[in-house]
Amino acid sequence: MSYLDRIQADLTAAMKGKDDLRLSVLRMMKSALKNKEVEKVRPLEDLESLQVLQTLVKQRRESVDQFTKGGRKDLADKETREIAIIEEYLPAAPSDAEIQHAVEAAVNEVGADSLKQMGAVIKAARARLEGKAIDGKALSDRVRQRLGPKS
C-alpha cells in the first residue's frame, strides 16, 4: 500500500471519528504528496514520498523552535502533536549504534581523514541507512565529530 493510499484510508477514518487535528494533518500530508506528484509528472516512489514526509517533519521542528523562542507554547505544542502524527508514517529511526556503524563504514569506504570529505561521507552513510528516517542534522553532527580534529 502506497503512502497516499494509506493516508487516504486514514483520512476517511479521521473524518468518521471527527478527529480535527488528525484530519488537518492528513490533508496537509496528502496535499504535499500530490503537489510533489504533479511536480514530477508521475506517481511518487516510496522513497520520494518518505522524503516529502521527512521534509514536513523538519519544517514543523523548525516551527516548534521559532514558536518556543517567541513564547508561543500553544502553537509549539500544536506543531509537536502534528509531528507525532506525521512520524506514524515514517519508518523507525536508526539507533545511535546503527548511525555510528554507518558513519564508520562510510569513513572507511571513502577513505576520509578530514572535514573536507564530509559531504562524501554523509552521502555514503545515507546510502547505508536508506529506508530509515534519518535526521540529517544528527548525521552531519556525527560525521563532523568523527572527522573533526583529534585532540
Please give the domain boundaries of the chain with CATH numbers for all domains.
Answer: 3-87 (1.10.1510.10), 96-147 (1.10.10)
Q: How many CB atoms lie within 10 A of CB 69?
A: 9
CA distances from 17 to 20, 29, 56 (A): 9, 18, 24
pLDDT in tens, the chain (151 residues): 788 889 999 999 999 999 899 999 999 999 999 999 999 999 888 888 888 998 999 999 999 999 999 999 999 999 999 999 998 988 877 778 888 888 888 888 888 777 788 888 888 888 888 767 777 778 888 888 888 765 4
Helix, coil or strand: residue 89: coil
Residue 121 to residues 13, 34, 50, 151: CA-CA distances in angstroms?
43, 32, 22, 21
> What integer pLDDT is reported at residue 151 of this predicted model?
40
Contact in structure between 109 and 128 (CB atoms under 8 Å): no
pLDDT of amino acid 75: 94
Can you give the pLDDT at residue 139? 83
pLDDT at 150: 56
Q: Would you state the pLDDT for residue 47?
A: 81
Single-letter amino acid code for the residue at 73: K
Phi then psi dihedrals of residue 129, to 5 deg: -100, 15
User: How is residue 3 written as a grid cell?
Assistant: 503512502
Are residues 32 and 82 in contact, defined by beta-carbon separation less than 8 angstroms? no
Of residues 16, 19, 9, 21, the one with CA closest to residue 86: 21
CA proximity to 90, closest of 31, 44, 45, 131: 131
The predicted model scores a pTM of 0.72
Q: Side-chain half-sphere of 35: how many Cα atoms within 13 Å?
A: 9
